[in-house]
């Protein structure tokens, strides 16, 4: 990468958006901008631009002064900020592909923009690892890069012993010194450039095209959105797919207290079906052109996960949906599966879901 970091940062600084006039957005598309979600998408895009420039400018300044630890800590925050924009673009695309409910999109933009971890009465911010893992579908090395930067940021083996000590095996002596420039000085400029160029692509190329299409989509679907009152519906909670299932030899994907509730059951389905289940309820296979005359649920999410892995089609993302019944009366309860064979299935309360990526390897 031969990018002139100073020149790029200076040009970026000169192009920062100083304000977002509401009148200008309404003039751009009066139908689209009566909805809050696209406005929040603008706010997110520009907030990311301001914050990321600040972080990269300071990281680069520390790099030039050989303060490599500080440069890496700031670079870690920069990649978190970049991931927010990548994720925003992903969920905009999901709306256009009918893979994400417009109301759920609106709620996600609210969480991204207003979420925090220090206000118990406010929106809870997303776990940054959840965001990064979603971004890794498009940028496969992102999670590994972030993990390496995180190790430098924490007072662990990497952040303590490797950063400040070296064993003299011949002298049987440990020598202390600041080793950050020796170990990582040659990488900082390259990683700053990577973060910067990825942002400029997502900001200048990906986001504008998606926003134009989203505005058009809202125009086309405005009557339906109004009729179904999508702006006030409740979004489902998404739980992260656990990364330690193999290590703990337990493939339940939801919190243990949920799994232990006898009225909480689980259902596996292609992710694309999630919106229709939320809006139309669970339906028997025969009601949607299939052969099954029941709706089936598992007593543990591990059973649903195994079922999904055994029946999924290549390249298809799945979802494990967690539901709660008021009572299991009238249902056919087996050892690990519960069947609803009624002509009009009972509709449980949906508590949340876990996405199972098509790339997930079950072992």
pLDDT in tens, 115-159: 998 888 788 899 999 999 999 999 999 999 999 999 888 988 888
Cα(265)–Cα(326) distance, rounded to whole angstroms? 11
Q: What is the mean pLDDT of residues 235-257?
A: 88
What is the structure's pLDDT at 87? 97
CA angle 123, 129, 132 (to 5 degrees): 105
CB under 8 Å to 84, separation ≥6 — which residues? 44, 48, 112, 131
Cα(151)–Cα(25) distance, rounded to whole angstroms? 43
Q: Residue holding tokens 């389905």? A: 269
Q: What does pLDDT average to over the chain?
A: 90
pLDDT for 53-99, tens place per residue?
999 999 999 999 999 999 999 999 999 999 999 999 999 999 998 88
Residue 233 has pLDDT above 50, yes or no: no
- Closest C-alpha among 225, 315, 238, 301 to residue 270: 315
pLDDT for 288-298, tens place per residue?
777 888 999 99
Residue 8 has pLDDT above 50, yes or no: yes
159 touches 153 (CB < 8 A): yes
pLDDT for 196-220, tens place per residue?
999 999 999 999 999 999 999 999 9
72 touches 149 (CB < 8 A): yes
Cα(350)–Cα(237) distance, rounded to whole angstroms? 9
């Amino acid at each position: 990468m031969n990018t002139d970091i100073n020149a790029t940062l200076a040009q970026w600084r000169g192009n920062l958006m100083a304000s977002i006039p509401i009148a200008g957005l309404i003039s751009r598309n009066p139908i689209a901008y009566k909805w809050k979600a696209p406005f929040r998408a603008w706010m997110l895009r520009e907030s990311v631009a301001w914050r990321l420039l600040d972080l990269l400018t300071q990281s680069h300044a520390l790099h030039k002064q050989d303060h490599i630890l500080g440069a890496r800590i700031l670079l870690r925050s920069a990649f978190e900020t970049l991931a927010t924009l990548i994720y925003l673009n992903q969920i905009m695309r999901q709306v256009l592909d009918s893979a994400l409910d417009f109301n759920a999109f609106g709620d996600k933009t609210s969480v991204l923009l207003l979420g925090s971890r220090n206000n118990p009465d406010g929106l809870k911010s997303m776990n940054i690892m959840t965001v990064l893992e979603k971004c890794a579908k498009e940028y496969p090395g992102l999670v590994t890069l972030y993990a390496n930067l995180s190790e430098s940021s924490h007072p662990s083996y990497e952040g303590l012993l490797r950063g400040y000590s070296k064993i003299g095996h011949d002298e049987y002596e440990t020598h202390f010194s600041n080793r950050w420039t020796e170990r990582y000085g040659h990488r900082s400029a390259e990683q700053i450039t990577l973060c910067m160029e990825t942002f400029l692509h997502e900001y200048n190329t990906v986001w504008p095209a998606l926003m134009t299409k989203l505005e058009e989509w809202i125009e086309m679907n405005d009557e339906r959105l109004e009729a179904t009152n999508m702006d006030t519906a409740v979004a489902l909670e998404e739980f992260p797919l656990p990364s330690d299932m193999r290590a703990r030899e337990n493939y339940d994907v939801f919190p243990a207290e949920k799994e232990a509730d006898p009225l909480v059951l689980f259902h596996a389905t292609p992710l694309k079906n999630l919106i229709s289940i939320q809006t139309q309820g669970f339906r028997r296979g025969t009601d949607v052109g299939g052969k099954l005359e029941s709706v089936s649920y598992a007593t543990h999410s591990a059973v649903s996960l195994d079922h999904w892995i055994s029946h999924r089609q290549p390249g298809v993302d799945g979802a494990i949906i967690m539901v709660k019944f008021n009572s299991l009366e009238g249902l056919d309860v087996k050892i690990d599966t519960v069947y609803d064979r009624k002509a009009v299935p009972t509709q449980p309360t949906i508590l949340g879901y876990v996405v199972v990526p098509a790339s997930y390897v079950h072992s």
